[in-house]
Amino acid sequence: MKRILIAALAFTLATTLAQAQNTPDRKGKPCKEHKMKSPEDRATKVTDWMTKELALTPEQSTKVKVINLKAFLKLKTLKADTTLAKEQRKAQHKAIKTERRTELKAVLTSEQTEKLKASVKAKKELHKERKAAKQKDGKVNVPSKKMVGPSLTDEELDDLLED
C-alpha cells in the first residue's frame, strides 16, 4: 500500500513539475510580460537605459522620464481606443512619437542625440539581420540583442527615435 501511495505521489509531483516547465511557442510575438507592462514600468526601463547609454545628468534623466511617461500613457490610451480606424490610429501614433522626439531633442545635447540615433540604427540593423536569417532557414543565427545591444525591445527602441 505504501508503494502505491509513494508511486502516486511521485507521479503527481513529476507531472506538476513537467507542466511548470512548459513554455508556449511565441513565434516572434512579444511576450506577455511586455504586453502587460505599465506605462510607468516602460518609462522607467527606457529612461534607465537612456541614462546609462547616453550618460544623462540627473536633471536630464528626470525630464526624460517625464517625457517618456507622458508618451507611453498617450500610447496606452490610443491602444485602448477601439473607435478609431487603422489610419487614424497610425496618424495619432506617429504624432505622439514625433512630439516625443521633439521634446527629447530639446533636453538632450547634440552629442547625446547622435548617440541615440546610432544606437537605434544599430538595433534596427540587427533586427533586419535576424529577420532575414529567420526567413532564410527558419532559425536565427545572428547573436541576440542581449549579447550585442541594449536590453530594450524593438518596440521600445522604435518609440525612442524613428526616422
Q: Examine residue 6 and state whether it is found in any structural domain, yes or no.
A: no
pLDDT confidence of residue 90: 93
pLDDT confidence of residue 140: 56
- Specify the number of domains making up the chain: 1
Helices (H) and strands (E) in the chain, counts: 8, 0
Tens-digit pLDDT string for the chain (163 aa): 778 878 776 777 667 766 655 555 555 555 555 566 899 999 999 999 999 999 999 999 999 999 999 999 999 999 999 899 999 999 999 999 999 999 999 999 999 999 999 988 998 898 888 888 877 766 655 555 444 444 566 666 666 655 4
Amino acid identity of residue 31, one-letter, is: C
pLDDT confidence of residue 147: 45
Q: Are 110 and 76 in contact (CB under 8 A)?
A: no
Q: Provide the residue range defining the domain that includes 81.
A: 34-160
Q: Examine residue 13 and state whether it is found in any structural domain, yes or no.
A: no
Hey, what long-range contacts does 3-10 have (CB within 8 A, 24 or more apart)?
none
Convert 12-51 to b/e letters by CB count within 10 Å (16 or more is b): eeeeeeeeeeeeeeeeeeeeeeeeebebeebbbbbbebbb
Of 52, 92, 11, whose CA–CA distance to 3 is shortest?
11
Q: Examine residue 1 and state whether it is found in any structural domain, yes or no.
A: no
CA dist 142 and 124 (Å) reads 13
